[in-house]
Every structure is written in C-alpha cells, then in structure tokens.
Structure 1
Amino acid sequence: MIIIEPRVRQLLVEDALNTFPDECCGFLFGREEHDGTRLVVDILVVDNSKEGDKTRRFEISPQDYMAAEAHALDHDWTLLGIYHSHPKHPAIPSETDRLAAQPYFSYVIVSVMDKDTIELRSWLLNDERQFEEEQILDYIYS
C-alpha cells in the first residue's frame, strides 16, 4: 500500500498537466513503515531526457538519479520510486515501463486524458518481474 500526501498528489497532477502532451517524470520520497506501507511526502521533478518524441516515452538521466539519491540522503528520506505520466493513455504500465522497472520501487502513473480526467495508479514489480497494482490509500491527518 502507498499513501500520497495531498500536497504531493497535487504536485504530481500539476507536473503532468504542465508537461502535457509530453510525459513528465520524477522521483518519490518518503518512508516505509514496519507494515510495508509507503508514505510519499515529497517529489523531485526532473526533465524528461528522452530524445525525440516525448509524448509516449520518458527517460531519466543518470545525473538526475544521482541527484535523487543525494536529495533522499539530505532529507533523511527513502527514495521510494518513480512517477511519470501517460498523456491520453490509461495509468497502466506499458511493456517498456516493465522492462525498465527496478525491484522495490513504486511506479506511480498519472493518466491525463484531458484537463478534467486524471487518474493516479501505483505499481510494483513482483518476483516474476510483472507489475502488480499497489493500492493507493487516502491520506488521513492525525
């Protein structure tokens, strides 16, 4: 399970809308609880470094990966995963997404069909290197 703070959810949606019709991308930061629940408290927006058509693919540069690791260390957070958008496509990982995915990471996909139709879904690789949906829970203020 993954919990995305409302402020962070808004940042994800804003990045996807601002980048539309291209794919946006970035990193998810937070902590993992003892029960395995992940709490996402921040993101790091990065440029889609894919050469050519960015409407159907994204790429994150090695320098941005290193910056994300440093960002996590600087804030005493865990790098929990990656997010990206699917402009005019459902929030379901593609085969390209699966082949590039790493174990442990959560992969949040923001589907943007139009300005009013936005969906967030999260995915994890299983032991057979297939994606399984990770339930997104509502954030509860305590």
Structure 2
Amino acid sequence: MKLEISNHALQKMQDHAEADYPNECCGFFYGREGDIRQVRIARRVDNAKEGDQRRRFQIDPQDYRKAEQYAVDHDLDLLGVYHSHPDHPAEPSEHDRKVAMPWFSYIIISVGDGAVAGVRSWRLNDHRQFEEEPTEVKEFKQKTET
C-alpha cells in the first residue's frame, strides 16, 4: 500500500527527530485509510523508555489510549507510529519488528549529527517481516492540522 504524507506532518516528525537527537523520538500519525494511506497529522509523544533512549523508544500505554481517542474525536484513522534512529539508517531493527503491530505503518527517520538523513516507511507482512512502503510527500488541499 502506498503512503502519502503531507509536507506539514512530515516536517513535524523531522523537527521532533532533530530536537530529540541524540535520543530516539516517537509519536503517532493520523489521516485517512483507503487504497492509499494519507498521513495528514503527526503528534509527538514522550519517549517513555527508562534509561538510555539513544537506541530505544517506548510509548506509554496511556499515550496509545490518548492517540486512539484523538483519532475518534477528530474523525481520523490512527495510521501508525514514527520514531527516529539517531546515527543509524531509517531501517527497522529486530526490536522494532518484535514490538510492531501488523496494521500500523512505521515511519523511521534517520538522524545523523543532528540533521535528518533519511525517511522511510515500513509495514509488517503476513510473515511478520517488514516490507518498505512506497512513500510520497504531498500537499493536501484539506486542512492538515487540528
């Protein structure tokens, strides 16, 4: 499935990744699900990982509940999770695979020396292996932020 990301949502994710460097950042993204997933909004959450956050992120269960409620309240689909990989490629780790949910897209932002170096999106297949999603940045005509 193709993923279309609004420039505004992508910029928010990238700004978050650069601001939290050298630690991993994380957040959710929302939009519309159909033949194409359209990402319109990105919302950051705090990395709840105890200890070293340079190689891991964790999302508090409360933040998941809030994300689901936000989607309901704003008539949006919760499409996935984004996170950064400081000084590593925008490719999922084995840990990422183990904790991933099959219905979500996972946008990974590579940050090198404090600047975004790449952005890629991934989704689990039926064998619980990640496959890269084709991604396109777009400017949507409808409002992209609530």
Q: TM-score with structure 2 length normalisation?
A: 0.92
**Counterpart residue number, 1:111:** 110
Rounded Cα–Cα distance in structure 2 between residues aligned with 1:39 and 1:104: 15
- Corresponding residue for 2:14? 13
- CA shift for structure 1 position 141: 5.0
1:55 alignment partner in structure 2: 54
User: For the structure 1 residues 118 and 64, does the alpha-carbon distance in structure 2 shift closer, same or farther, using more than 3 Å as the test?
Assistant: same
Q: Secondary structure at the match of 1:9?
A: helix
Deviation, 1:55, is: 0.2
CA–CA distance in 2 between the matches of 1:8 and 1:117?
Answer: 15
Counterpart of 1:75, as a letter, is H
Per-residue deviation, 1:118 = 2.0
- Superposition map of 1:1-142 within 5 A: 1-33=2-34, 35=35, 37-139=36-138
Indicate the larger mover: 58-67 or 107-116. Answer: 107-116
Hey, what's the Cα distance between the residues in 2 that align with 1:99 and 1:107?
13
Looking at structure 1, the residues matched to 130 and 140 of structure 2 have their Cα atoms a distance apart, in angstroms, of 30
Displacement after TM superposition at 1:140 (Å): 5.0
Q: Give the CA deviation at 1:114.
A: 2.5
> Does 128-137 or 116-125 show the bigger shift?
116-125
Q: Structure 1 pair 63/118, CA: closer, same or farther in 2 (3 Å)?
A: same
Q: Which amino acid aligns with 2:19?
A: N
Alpha-carbon distance in structure 1 between the residues aligned to 2:120 and 2:27: 15
Judged with a 3 Å threshold, the aligned counterparts in structure 2 of structure 1 residues 135 and 97 are, in CA distance, closer, same or farther, namely: same
What is the percentage of aligned positions where both structures have the same residue?
A: 52
The unaligned stretches of length 5 or more in structure 1 are none
